[in-house]
Chain A
Amino acid sequence: MKLTPIKENISYSVRTALEFLFVKNPRGTSIGVFLGISAYGITEIYLHLYKPGINLPSNSLFYFIAIGITILNIFPYMFGKKLNPNIEEAISLIEEAAKKTKMPLYHKRLLYIELYKKVLGSVEFNNETKKNLETLRNS
């Protein structure tokens, strides 16, 4: 078997590090960078046209970008999406069990696959019940 935990660990840790770099919201950070640069440019044009002689310091571009990123990331960070508490409990139980018993990776993965199958089943059940209700209402 080719599975090695070292490759798994490295790929996971690098990917999570990159996600933390973008505050787990890369679209927001990219829009923040865009808005920061545009705000800096607009203020510079305003100063150039109406108040000549006053120049912004060159470092202030980075402050503008930082402000843009924080504005676009603070609301999803504070009031982000939260999963169903039952699913959260299941995930935390799996993680606790993995820590306590030091189970191998394949065992943990099978537990997670069972969880996904249950979520899929519940979603399919909900869709079927919705369809049945609609047919009942139409008839």
Chain B
Amino acid sequence: MTKILFNMFWFFPIIIFGMTEDHYFGDVFSYFLAIYIVIIISIFVITRINTLKHFQVYLKQNAKLDEKSLNVNSVVNLVVEEHLSKRAITYSFFIFSTLLIIIFTYLVKTEYSIVIYLLVFSLTSGLFISDLLMKYRVMKGYYGCRQSEAREIIEFILENSNKIPPKESGKELPILTSLEVEEMLKRIPAIESGKEFAF
């Protein structure tokens, strides 16, 4: 179903350009462009947020595909899920703002510049790229070794201590998702003696 919709999007701008041969250019073009961007953003959000929000399921699938060693339950996973659930609100506000522009153009009938639609679209895509980068860093095990990320994790631990399950007998909840750190700990004597290189 989504594939059919995405194929339709290629035809959509061609139809619009066909309509803008005459004096319709400013009004009709901006109106259709806004609708086009709203549809793209909403599908983008519905498909992507659902996959990103259930980060544990995503990790399980990825671990099967690439045969990676990943912790499905960890503190950083909880941080990512909390972060992405908050992001849904920001995405929805961008959608509402584009819808508002359409409503005002209908009511007052003034031409809005195309730059405003592109601005909203670029902001949403920027948010999405930052989310992807966060996910990449978590998967690779880079997440949590910088100052700002340390602040994010510690703030989460202090605020949402109820969400973290209590320590069972002998078993701690691991902090990072990638198991590379534990491998590193085994390799440290070899690295420090100079037999192997870390990076």
| Across-interface contacts of A87 in B (CB, < 8 A) | 154
On whether A120 and B164 interact (CB within 8 A), knowing A18-B130, A21-B126, A109-B181, the answer reads yes
- Tell me if A76 is interfacial: C-beta within 8 Å of chain B: no
Docked complex Cα distance between A30 and B173 (Å): 35
| Across-interface contacts of A83 in B (CB, < 8 A) | 151, 154-155, 158
| A residues apposed to B, CB below 8 Å | 1-5, 7-8, 11-12, 14-16, 18-19, 21-22, 26-27, 29-31, 33-34, 37-38, 40-41, 44-45, 48, 55, 58, 61-62, 81, 83-84, 87, 91, 95, 104-106, 108-110, 112-113, 115-117, 119-120, 123-124, 126-127
On whether A18 and B145 interact (CB within 8 A), knowing A1-B199, A91-B150, the answer reads no
| Across-interface contacts of A105 in B (CB, < 8 A) | 145, 198-199
Of A4, A16, A113, the contact of B144 (CB 8 Å cutoff): A113
Asked if residues A106 and B198 are in contact (CB atoms below 8 Å), the reply is: yes
| Across-interface contacts of B194 in A (CB, < 8 A) | none
| Most chain A C-beta atoms within 10 Å of own C-beta, residue among B130, B134, B136, B144 | B130
Interface-facing stretch out of B8-16, B38-46, B49-57, B108-116? B108-116
Q: Which 4 A-B pairs have the closest CB atoms?
A: A41-B104, A109-B145, A30-B93, A18-B130
Asked if residues B101 and A7 are in contact (CB atoms below 8 Å), the reply is: no
Of A45, A84, A108, the contact of B145 (CB 8 Å cutoff): A108
- Tell me if B96 is interfacial: C-beta within 8 Å of chain A: yes
Shortest beta-carbon distance from A122 to chain B in Å: 9
Asked if residues B147 and A91 are in contact (CB atoms below 8 Å), the reply is: yes
Of B101, B176, B198, the contact of A104 (CB 8 Å cutoff): B198
**What are 29 contact pairs spanning A and B, CB under 8 A?**
A2-B140, A8-B140, A11-B133, A11-B136, A12-B142, A14-B130, A15-B130, A15-B134, A16-B148, A19-B148, A21-B126, A27-B90, A30-B91, A30-B93, A30-B94, A30-B123, A33-B94, A37-B101, A41-B101, A41-B104, A44-B104, A62-B116, A83-B158, A84-B158, A87-B154, A104-B199, A109-B141, A123-B157, A126-B161
B54-109 contacts to A (CB < 8 Å): 75, 86-87, 89-91, 93-94, 96-97, 100-101, 103-104, 107-108
| Across-interface contacts of A44 in B (CB, < 8 A) | 104, 108, 110
- Tell me if B179 is interfacial: C-beta within 8 Å of chain A: no
- Tell me if B3 is interfacial: C-beta within 8 Å of chain A: no
Asked if residues A4 and B199 are in contact (CB atoms below 8 Å), the reply is: yes
On whether A12 and B146 interact (CB within 8 A), knowing A41-B104, A41-B108, A83-B151, the answer reads yes
Shortest beta-carbon distance from B85 to chain A in Å: 12
Shortest beta-carbon distance from B116 to chain A in Å: 6
Asked if residues A123 and B90 are in contact (CB atoms below 8 Å), the reply is: no
Asked if residues A106 and B184 are in contact (CB atoms below 8 Å), the reply is: yes
B136-189 contacts to A (CB < 8 Å): 136-137, 140-142, 144-148, 150-151, 153-155, 157-158, 161, 164, 166-167, 173, 175-176, 180-181, 184-185, 187-188
